[in-house]
Amino acid sequence: MTFDRAIKIAPSILAADFASFGAECAAVEAQGADWIHVDVMDGHFVPNITFGPATCAAIRPHIKGVMDVHLMIAPVDPYIDAFADAGADVLTAHVEAGPHIHRTLQAIRGAGMKAGVALNPGTPASAVAELMDMVDLICVMTVNPGFGGQKFIDMTAKIKTLRDMIGDRPVHIEIDGGVDPKTAPLVAKAGADVLVAGSAVFRGGSVSDPAPYGDNIRAIRAAATGVWA
């Protein structure tokens, strides 16, 4: 994985057909997705349960590019090797998920993956100030995590603060929740480069009729491109 600041669209398979994950991943990639975003939820850290490393391993052969795994689980550390074995390229843990995020990020990189840290809407940018040299990605939640299809919460001030804190380090800022062609330019202008979108990508299409996925991806990318000075 090489670093660049171009806008990347990462469809969240939380909004895909759960009976067809492999085909859905291949379909959105063929329609222009840059990364595939995989939301792992445990019913404890967040009030919803999705899937785990076995599902990641099952979909991995269907993904040509980056598999971006977002852990909404606590604890994290016992499962890091399982997600590495499943083929995750990026593994993101929440700063709120435990007392030892520093150790968790070390372990993620130690297992050969890019390390991400996520912040809930109520968590300030300062919570990750000591982690700038330990992360490859900072995920700013623009909804309270747990469910797709929620209303976007404006976190543009936090995104700008994080981009200043990052400076010239090769660190992505990823936005997760309520991203669509209206909200994408707001977060891109503030400094985000990876846009996770579930509902706004998968709406209107299917594995047998994937063209709307491409239309949706192009609309988000067009709205977000060129607005970050």
Active site residues: 39, 176
Long-range contacts formed by 114-118: CB under 8 A, 24+ apart: 114/1, 114/89, 114/90, 115/90, 115/91, 116/68, 116/70, 116/90, 116/91, 116/92, 116/172, 116/174, 117/92, 117/93, 118/70, 118/92, 118/93, 118/94, 118/145, 118/176
37 annotated among ligand-binding-site residues: yes
- Omega cis (within 30) before 75: yes
199 annotated among ligand-binding-site residues: yes
Pair 152, 184: CB distance under 8 Å: no
Whose Cβ is closer to ligand 5RP: residue 13's or residue 108's?
A: 13
In the block, residue with structure tokens 């606590």: 74
Whose Cβ is closer to ligand 5RP: residue 35's or residue 79's?
A: 35
Pair 52, 225: CB distance under 8 Å: no
Whose Cβ is closer to ligand 5RP: residue 2's or residue 224's?
A: 224
177 annotated among ligand-binding-site residues: yes
**168: amino acid identity, one letter:** D
Residue 168 CB, nearest approach to ligand 5RP (Å)? 28
176 annotated among ligand-binding-site residues: yes
Binding site residues, ligand 5RP, CB under 6 A: 12, 14-15, 39, 70, 143, 145-150, 176-179, 196-200
Picking from 188, 193, 202, 169, the residue whose alpha carbon sits closest to that of residue 6 is 193
Whose Cβ is closer to ligand 5RP: residue 48's or residue 132's?
A: 48
In the annotated binding site, the residues are: 12, 37, 39, 70, 146-149, 176-178, 198-199
Q: Which residues are annotated as a binding site for substrate?
A: 12, 70, 146-149, 176-178, 198-199
